[in-house]
Structure 1
Amino acid sequence: MFPIFTKKQLTTLRIFLEDTGFYRIPLTKLATGHYKFTAKINNCKGSFILDTGASTSCIGIDRIEQFSLLNEDSEIKAAGAGAINMETQIARNNMFSVKKLSLTETDFILFDLSHVNEALAQASEKAIDGIIGADLLKRYRAVIDYGRNCFYLKINR
């Protein structure tokens, strides 16, 4: 049996997380059921889906110039959302920021996200620039609050 929290207790959870160094990031729920948020990579704004099922964070390979990425070849093959065995590149040591939160030395896998954006377009949603996955979520001890449409990342102090 799961406990039922009162509104006051949920507010307390937010205060507790923020008081212990977590940074709150709002999410927007899409028609597809995905959760999207806005962030910057190397000081350039973009739209990202939060995906706990994605093992690594990635950016569309067509966004290399937009985010000023220094890309290099990668041995990693990408798969997911109906696509398999896709060629990838990697961009290392990038600045990932959301509002006042800045995370340095962030790596991203680069590959073709057109299949993801086609699925979003079929649901009348705008294209995304990338996907934030489990690598970043684990590194910053993410806490996802689906009830409040937000997530928290732990700031290393």
Structure 2
Amino acid sequence: MSLKKLLKEKGYHRIDLEFTKTSHLELVAKINDIEGNFILDTGASSTCVGLEAVEHFKLLAEDSDVKAAGAGATDMLTQIAQKNSIEIMGWKKKKIDLVLFDLKHVNQALTDHKAEKVHGIIGADILKKGKAIIDYKNKALYLK
């Protein structure tokens, strides 16, 4: 039996992934019913949206004491947007809190390598909630 068939029987949703030119896994997700491009990052503890995408997703930003670090930048100020919905290819969750911070350095690195900019990062919080299984060979993410 294939992994795809086995996981479908267990109630998982299959999400197609694309490799960017920077070898990141990318997917399309909807935040509050608005579509955007996201990098899948198992090393990111929280799902994040770039400050420049706050209006795009109609997010309500609140100040946060959390400092973000990653991808060569540290001590970045963040905001938080609480109680949002997320949908990834039929898999849905409500009451999701999103970390908002400046993704310019991430998008600059992507565009430097002729890759598309992203609206945000899908992090470990969503992967845990969805009991994620990543199939690198077949470029698929499974969420339950």
Bucket of the pairwise TM-score, normalised by the shorter protein: over 0.9
Q: Which structure would you say has the larger Rg?
A: 1
**Which of the residues 77, 80, 86 maps onto 2:76?**
86
Count of aligned positions = 144
TM-score normalized by structure 1? 0.89
Q: Percent identity?
A: 47
Measured in 2, the distance between the counterparts of 1:33 and 1:98 equals 21
Corresponding position of 1:6: none
Richer in strand (by share): 2
Q: Residue type matched to 1:69 in 2?
A: L
Displacement of 1:38:
0.8
TM-score normalized by structure 2? 0.96
SS across alignment from 1:75: strand
Measured in 2, the distance between the counterparts of 1:93 and 1:100 equals 19
SS across alignment from 2:66: coil
Name stretches of at least 5 consecutive residues in structure 1 with no aligned partner.
1-8
Encode CA deviations 1:97-145: one digit per residue, 9 max, x unaligned.
1232221111110000000000000110111000001111011110000
Corresponding position of 2:110: 120
Say what the alpha-carbon RMSD is for the aligned residues.
0.9
SS across alignment from 2:106: helix
Richer in helix (by share): 1
Q: Residue type matched to 2:105 in 1?
A: H
Q: Residue type matched to 1:14 in 2?
A: K
